[in-house]
Amino acid sequence: MNDTVPPAAAGGGDAVPPAAAGDAVPPTGAGGGDASTPAGAGQHGGTPPVGTGGGTPAGLLAGRRVVVVGGASGIGRATVAAAAAAGAAVAVLDADTPGADSAAAQARAAGAWAWARGVDVTVEAEVARALDAAAADLGGIDAVLHVAGVMRGQGLDVRDVPVALWAQVIAVNLTGPFLVAKHAARHLRPDGGVLVLVGSKAGVQTGSGSVPYGASKGGLHGLALTLARQLGPQGIRVHALCPGDIDTPLMRRSLDEARANGTGGDRIAAVEATLGRPEDVASVLVLLASPASAGLAGTVWTG
């Protein structure tokens, strides 16, 4: 997301804010659920035949097996619904295990095969086990859509950003995608696999109201470009998807934080007036995960 709220003046606070309920991933080191037992085990609508969409109408993702990382809320949850509606069998991974369960249940109610599991993307062993389990249950993986992230430090002057907050955001927003890419690459098909890392215009096209957030998203963009260069010749297509400001719980909490750190109400209102819809970003992710996008390369931008 293009987090454009400008920083407040110096002195906006020096304590690491507590993790807000419902963040896509927990603070560094926090457990993201039982790493050995899938959330919602036995509630995935039956074992999907390899190469089928689990009973949903044929669409862009008919016959595709898709993993959505950060699928409990916001863009991720909208992507789970959109992928299921397009015919995919979907594995939902998120630190918010109840939220992941709920997103998978919603997809199943619409007729799709869906499965959920809690995972902390900053813990390599959890990421590896979650992707191994998804590949086993899905019968393989065609696309991994990494949406998980945190947005903290909004409105803080660089002189007031605690190192602990910086490390937390970098761990989730940059180390997390690296770990997901590392272990997804072992499972993605070498003849049409897709990896999409959701970044932001912030840190790439423009600055951010959060120093660590902007830095992390700039790093994620560079990671995606490097992975595309390395994995492309192996038949795995890699994209960075960089949206603008989107109306998600994450964004709303970030705006509240900016307000608390001294950003003017008129500036926040200006951002709120232009927020995009998660469903619009989800539709682009579905397109990127489909064979219809085989001719695309590099970074994709949305409003």
Q: Catalytic residues, which ones?
A: 213
79 contacts 147 by C-beta, under 8 angstroms: yes
Q: Token pair for residue 34?
A: 């039982």
Q: For the chain, how many residues are written?
A: 303
Rounded Cα distance, 195 and 193, in Å = 7
Q: Token pair for residue 10?
A: 């110096």
Rounded Cα distance, 205 and 7, in Å = 17
Rounded Cα distance, 251 and 150, in Å = 9
Rounded Cα distance, 210 and 203, in Å = 10
Element spanning 279, H or E: helix 278-289
Rounded Cα distance, 28 and 252, in Å = 22
233 contacts 262 by C-beta, under 8 angstroms: no
131 contacts 189 by C-beta, under 8 angstroms: no
Among the listed residues 37, 8, 65, the one whose alpha carbon sits nearest the alpha carbon of residue 255: 8
184 contacts 144 by C-beta, under 8 angstroms: yes
